[in-house]
Every structure is written in structure tokens, then in C-alpha cells.
Amino acid sequence: MADLHTVNKSPFDKNSLEQAIRFSTAGSAILLIEDGVYGATKGTVAEDMVKGAMGDKKVFALKSDLMARAIKEDRVIDGVEIVDYAGFVDLVEANDKVQAWL
């Protein structure tokens, strides 16, 4: 049983990412989209939280949203996997359901 958790808010503005990490089971996938991708960047106050989550969950970030927000790949936290729209669809298919954290 694994779910895909999507987060579309900046971790510095809303606690959506924190809640997604807290309330998701081991083996879940967390996909950062829209302003959620700011949580995928290195050197921020949210970095440790994201790294902590990667212990038993996988974290993904949507490429087009990273690009629009000028976050280059080398600024993305190591271990966060960058996916395109096709990868998004694959994640939806691979998980039982999608849970959105708005």
C-alpha cells in the first residue's frame, strides 16, 4: 500500500510539505509540483526536513515547474528525482491513489 502525495505550496509559506511528510506512510512517494518545488532546493531551511523524509520515502520534483522557477538541476537536493509530465503519470499509475496537500 503506497500513495502518491502531491505538494503544490512553498514550504516557506505553508506547512503542506511538512504535513505530507508527517502523515504519509513509509514507501510513499512525495511529488513536489508548482510552488512545492521550492522545497527541492539545496541550502534552504527546509532541506533537512526533506532529507529526513528520504529515509523511507521517495521525493520527486516536476521538471517544468523547476524550470519556470529558475531552479537549475544542480540546485536540487541530491536524491530528489526530477520527473517530467510522463513521469508524473507513471507515479500516479504506480501508486494506489493520489493524495493532494494543498
Residues that bind other proteins (CB under 8 A): 8-10, 12-13, 34-35, 38, 41-45, 47, 63-65, 67-70, 72, 75, 84
All three cell numbers of 71, joined, read 531552479
Task: Return the number of the residue (68 or 94) whose C-beta is nearest other proteins.
Answer: 68
Task: Return the number of the residue (30 or 39) whose C-beta is nearest other proteins.
Answer: 39
Task: Return the number of the residue (48 or 93) whose C-beta is nearest other proteins.
Answer: 48
